Amino acid sequence: MSGRDESIETIQRELTAFARRARHKASQMHPDLSLVMYSMLDLLTERGGCRAADLAAYFMLDKSTVSRQVRALEQLGYVSREVDPEDHRGQILRPTGSGLALLREAHEMRRLAFTERFEDWTDEDMARLAGYLVRYGASE
């Protein structure tokens, strides 16, 4: 196996492990919320709200999956629906005050975990990793 192929194998293994840890951490923060639900709530907060179809497109999920996740977030009191002012047939999903509080807590827990995990990394190493992650995310 070439050095490049070995690197790809290592990257794949490490990103898979990263995703598994993220799912596990999400379940520890709130047993009723999946990582997908946290991610949806986070995007709704970032955008100030959006339609369910926007969530489906962004996360590359089918509408029925998004519908189930949103319904669960609504039942937990983390998301509300409003009539879309641009298209009165549609609805805009927005995080509630409880949803925003949950996200603030989750962000702080993640920040502390990352701070601890990168404790012995130099500022240069951190900046390099951040740049690589941005580059990887932009390459789709």
Give 119's DSSP letter: T
- What domains, with CATH codes, occur in the chain? 3-138 (1.10.10.10)
Cα 123 → chain centroid: 25
Rg (CA), the chain: 18
What pLDDT does 116 receive?
92
Q: Could you give the count of Cα atoms lying within 13 Å of 81 in the half-sphere of its Cβ?
A: 14
Give the global pTM. Answer: 0.77
- Supply 103's token pair: 């996200």
What pLDDT does 1 receive?
76
What's the CA gap between 34 and 5, in Å, rounded?
33
Residues of the chain with pLDDT under 50: none
What pLDDT does 118 receive?
93
What pLDDT does 19 receive?
84
